[in-house]
Structure formats: C-alpha cells, structure tokens
Structure 1
Amino acid sequence: MNGRQTVLSAIRGALSGVPDSERPDEVPTSHGRRADHMGPDVVGLFVERAAEYRATVVRVPPSGAAAAVGHALARTGARSLVVPPGLPENLVPEGEWSLLADVPPLTVGQLDAADAVVTTVAAAIAVTGTVTLDHGPGQGRRALTLLPDQHICVVRADQIAPDVPEAWGLLDHCRPLTLISGPSATSDIELDRVEGVHGPRILDIVVVGDT
C-alpha cells in the first residue's frame, strides 16, 4: 500500500459511521465558541504565546496606544518611522522621529534605510501568538513590513481569535495574507538562530483594550 492509499484508507475508516444523508454544514463545529484548551483569557494567552516567539508585547488601554508605540521606538533607538496609508492618527506617537509616509510609494532603498514601521493588523491568533495582515488600510503593502528593522503591530483585543479556524473567519480570503509569529528568524545547519534575515529583526506588539 502506497502513501496515497494509506491516507484514503484512513479517511474511509473515519467516515464509515457517517450517514450518507448527512451534509458537512449540518455538523456542529467549534466556530464561534472557545475551545476548552484555550482557557478563559484569550488575550492573555495571545500575549503569552507571542512573547514565547520573542516578540515584545505590552497591553494598554486605548488612550495609551500611541505612547506604547513611542516607547517601543525609544527602546531600540529608532529615528525614522514608516507610516502606511490609512493608519489611524491616534497611533502615531509624538517625538523627534522622522515620519515617512508611503505616498507616493517609498523606494526599496528608503524602506531599507528606515528604522521602523508601525501597522495595524487584520486579526491575531491566541494559541499560536500570530498576527495576520491583509495589507488593507493601516497595514500597508508587504514590503513595508519586510525591510525596516523593527515592526510595531497594534492589535485591538477584539481582533484576537482563540484559534486558527476562528481567525480565518475574520479574514478576507481574496486579499494577500501575511502571518507573523515573532521576529524573522532562521537557523543554519548547526541550529544557530539568526534573526532579521528575511524580515524585521525586532517585533513589538501593542495590544489595545481594557486592561
């Protein structure tokens, strides 16, 4: 028996007790409710898991979002900040940073020379500590989140879904999606971790909501 036959045999066995008249949309699923393994604090789980991926995560009330972005920039010594079209003005911190608007589009050289970028997200996934961008307003084109050394993501608490299926229901599947779990990292053959090879070396996540 080859691999294909093994898989099909397992599927037939799993479906052996399903009535022929049953349709997939008639079967209850976990969509819309939190799975037992998530626990009651989905936001707290997201913060914990994102931190495990070496992201720096803070929780703030809505009035503290811009200040949290400013603190993230100050921590790394960033001096220039890319601001994508549609980013809410109340997320732009006051300070001596050079603000680089991506209108008209910045060149690759300008993005590579920029210290940081701040974006919103489309959704986040608690169990994996993942943020998801669909590159709509406030998120910018994909290049903005790949070239600057620091990426600051602002996530509303109500955008955090417990698990992947729930998060998938929040996304527009006709848009390009980028899923980010921690700073960009890779390992060589000896498993030495290197960060910043394929994207930002530093990931900050600001979770905005009642704390």
Structure 2
Amino acid sequence: MSDARTEVLARVRAALGQPGTGTTPAGKVGTAPRPEPVPRAYRAAGEHAVGSAEVLEQLVDRLVDYKAHVHEVTAADVPATVATLVTGLSGPDGAPRVVAPDGLDDAWLAALPAGTEVVRDSREHPLAATDLDAVAAVVTAARVAISETGTIVLDGEPDQGRRAISLVPDVHLCVVRADQAAQTVPEAVRLLGAHPDRPLTWISGPSATSDIELDRVEGVHGPRTLHVLLVAG
C-alpha cells in the first residue's frame, strides 16, 4: 500500500474513532483511539424556514431553470392535475398506461381518463424493465426538495417506489409537499439521515447530458420530461 493511501485511510479511521493502523496516539498503545474532530465550517442551514414562501419561490425558480414543469396546486387539485398531464400520453403500444408505486395515494389517480391502465410496482412484485418501458408515465411522491439546487430526493419509501420506476418511463410526475422543501443540502441530508439505509435518487430536472460536443441531450439516463406538482401547505 502506498504511503499516501496509508495516510488517507489512517486519517479516515481516526476521524471515525475506529481502530487500525495509524489511529493509536503515540505512547497510548492498548488504549482506544479518540475520534479527531471533523471540521464543519460549511453553512449548515439556510436563512429561511422549511416550506417558507422564500424557499418555495427559489425552488420553483431552480426547477424551471432545469427545464422541469412546475404546477403549483392545492391537495384537492392533485388528482385533476395528474389526469390533465396524463391525457394525450401513450405507451409504445398506444395504450394509456401509468405506473405507480404500491404505496402511492390512490386518490391522486382517481381522476385519470377513462381507459387509462394503472400498473402497480413493488419490491415484492417488481415490473420488468421492458414493462416499465411500455408505460407512458410514472407518478410518485417525494421525500425532500432542496431549493438552492432545484433538487428532489426520493428515498424508496412505498409512495416513491423502486428507483427503476422513476428512471425508465419517459415522463415523471412527482408530487412534492411545500413542507418538504428545505433551502440547503445540509438540511436535506439531516432529514435523509434519519433513514440511512434507504436508496436515494437525486433529481435535478429531467435527465440530460452534454457529454457529446457540449450539446444538451435530454432523456438519456432517465425521464425526458419532469412534472413537479408542488402542493401548497
């Protein structure tokens, strides 16, 4: 192992307070190492409260800048808005089909147009990638939103589902409550830290890349279109 790598790993172990090469202070052989203080000089919170008007205004601005479509609605408006956005969409076989995680609120889908097929996905009964590719859209909830970065985070809970269902379909309808919007990344990470075992999907606008000749191409690694239904408190 190189000297540089040894030094890096030793400092990581020391910061975590774990035993290992380089973590025992000189003259203290046989004693438990003490964690080194980790500097946290970064800004830990924003100037505005979670869900405040300022945070929501900034979130909308960032989402729009990322080319997401934002719909500011009330809770009662969600079913009709979902129905409006789904109308006119169709899968590869022409049938209007929407996928939803098994824990999604049924009321959000209650106003879908006649003939729309809703397919449910769960960890116990996952849809194949080919099945997901045949749906017109996916509808999910969210765990937290970050206004400064225009990011929405899903954490795999039953109302958000497996990561695959929000990555394969071409259109993603994501319902975000106003009280889930934090201003900064550290605030969001603290909320997510309550359940460190959950898989996270961080979404900043529709999928896009500029890898080739710096030309922006959308829909390469996920949904081409992102609709955010921002529900007022």
Task: Please give the residue correspondences for 1:115-130 in structure 2 after superposition, counting only pairs within 5 Å.
Answer: 115-130=136-151
Q: What secondary structure does 1:81 align onto?
A: strand
2:186 corresponds to which residue?
165
1:90 corresponds to which residue?
107
Q: Say whether residues 1:71 and 2:84 are aligned partners.
A: yes
Distance across 2 between alignment mates of 1:75 and 1:48: 27
Pairwise CA distance, 1:30: 4.2
2:118 corresponds to which residue?
99
Q: What secondary structure does 1:192 align onto?
A: coil
The count of corresponding residues between Structure 1 and Structure 2 is 187
Pairwise CA distance, 1:35: 5.8
Match for 1:50: what amino acid? L
1:109 corresponds to which residue?
130
Pairwise CA distance, 1:76: 4.5
Q: What secondary structure does 1:170 align onto?
A: helix
1:140 corresponds to which residue?
161
Distance across 1 between alignment mates of 2:56 and 2:89: 25
1:18 corresponds to which residue?
none
For structure 1, the 5+ residue unaligned runs are 5-22
Distance across 2 between alignment mates of 1:144 and 1:80: 13
Cα 1:50–1:75, aligned 2, differ >3 Å: closer, same or farther?
farther
Pairwise CA distance, 1:93: 4.0
Distance across 2 between alignment mates of 1:168 and 1:132: 10
Q: Is the 8 A contact 2:90 2:135 kept in 1?
A: no
Pairwise CA distance, 1:160: 0.4
Cα RMSD of the aligned pairs, angstroms, is 2.7
Q: Is the 8 A contact 2:48 2:54 kept in 1?
A: no
Q: Is the 8 A contact 2:89 2:136 kept in 1?
A: no
Q: What secondary structure does 1:82 align onto?
A: strand
Distance across 2 between alignment mates of 1:117 and 1:93: 15
Pairwise CA distance, 1:204: 0.5
Q: Return the index of the structure with the highest Cα Rg.
A: 2
1:58 corresponds to which residue?
71
Q: What secondary structure does 1:72 align onto?
A: helix
Cα 1:65–1:190, aligned 2, differ >3 Å: closer, same or farther?
same
Match for 1:163: what amino acid? T
Distance across 2 between alignment mates of 1:72 and 1:139: 19
Q: Is the 8 A contact 1:69 1:93 kept in 2?
A: no
Distance across 2 between alignment mates of 1:70 and 1:187: 32
For structure 2, the 5+ residue unaligned runs are 5-36
Distance across 2 between alignment mates of 1:194 and 1:139: 26
Distance across 2 between alignment mates of 1:56 and 1:76: 16
Distance across 2 between alignment mates of 1:83 and 1:68: 16
Pairwise CA distance, 1:83: 1.1
Q: TM-score, normalised by structure 1?
A: 0.80
Q: What is the percentage of aligned positions where both structures have the same residue?
A: 45
